[in-house]
Amino acid sequence: MVRVAVAGAGFWGRNHLRILQELEGCTIVGVCDIDATRAENAAKKYQIPKYFTDYDTLLDRTEPDAITICTPSTTHAELSLKAIERGISVLIEKPMATTIQDSIKIVDAKKSSNTVVMVGFLERFNPVVKAAKELLNKGEIGSIILSYSRRIGSWPERIGDVGVVKDTAIHDIDLTTYIFGSIPLQVYARGGSLRHRLEDHIQATLTFTNGRSALIEANWLTPRKKREMHITGDDGVISLKFIEQELTIEKADAVKMPMIRYSEPLRLELEHFIECVRSKREPLVGVGDGYTAELIAEAILHSAKTGKPVEVLSYEEEALTS
């Protein structure tokens, strides 16, 4: 049995607890939250033997094999590094860190440890993404030319330490690099803050080799929640609806909608994490993916701030040497 703890008993932490409680092959040994009442309520609801308000105490007294980090984004690096240094495997909710420098620290810590370190890009475990990736690998729509992602909806009040780019658009940043199989050469973005302290709308263009490009739209302004992606090839289009888990293939001679069995992406993600910890194998989404997503997110924010295109590798070099 994998002994697992959860840091953070807010909205997302409680989702982790709900699923982990039901999974075979693991047992929850503790939960912590800076809010004692929230930690205690979570422990009672999910029948967890111990709860804490201090992260170090949680690690000392429960000695978990693995931990999931579901705390505010700005704490991810510090908490995950403490776990990795103790030899504890970690699932870090996205973003992996909130700066490129902190992301590099996690990458380096992982290299010198035998732990499993996974980043919580749960859309990678969405059945429609798996189906789309298989179709793309088979050449169903030919060579990819363009992707367009739309991730919009009202502001989730629980989010207060990062803006829409690192909370919302970062899913599509990760999916785009996953589908294209490379990082963009350049990004150009426009956005701003209309109703919130941090940016609440962004439109970004990512330019890849061979004339390929990706468009990402995200906001916390529109009343209806939409999560979708359209991938254009030279022989068709694949459209994904993430919430509905629907996939459409448009070709010259037909439009097809394959049947996809619904599964909760977070459950699939946590099952994968526990299995990776048990078997000591690398996860589908690792620290390299977390670093890449953070780098591109930072480049997008810099472009939106300056109003100019940003060369991604040049930006990375400058950020790491400054």
Tens digit of pLDDT for each residue in 232-273? Answer: 999 999 999 999 999 999 999 999 999 999 999 999 999 999
Residue 18: name the closest of 55, 45, 52 by CA. Answer: 45
Give the span between the Cα atoms of 106 and 136, in whole angstroms: 31
- Contacts for 212 with CB less than 8 Å, ≥ 6 apart: 144, 145, 146, 180
> Mind listing the domains of the chain with CATH numbers?
2-121+267-286 (3.40.50.720), 124-263+296-313 (3.30.360.10)
- Contacts for 234 with CB less than 8 Å, ≥ 6 apart: 141, 142, 143, 145
Tens digit of pLDDT for each residue in 45-101? Answer: 999 999 999 999 999 999 999 999 999 999 999 999 999 999 999 999 999 999 999
Count of helix runs (H) and strand runs (E) in the chain: 11, 15
Per-residue pLDDT band for 158 (boundaries 50, 70, 90) equals confident
Give the span between the Cα atoms of 196 and 160, in whole angstroms: 9
Instruction: Read off the DSSP letter of residue 169.
Output: I
Give the span between the Cα atoms of 300 and 204, in whole angstroms: 7
pTM (two decimals): 0.96
Give the span between the Cα atoms of 202 and 213, in whole angstroms: 16
Longest dimension (CA), the chain: 63
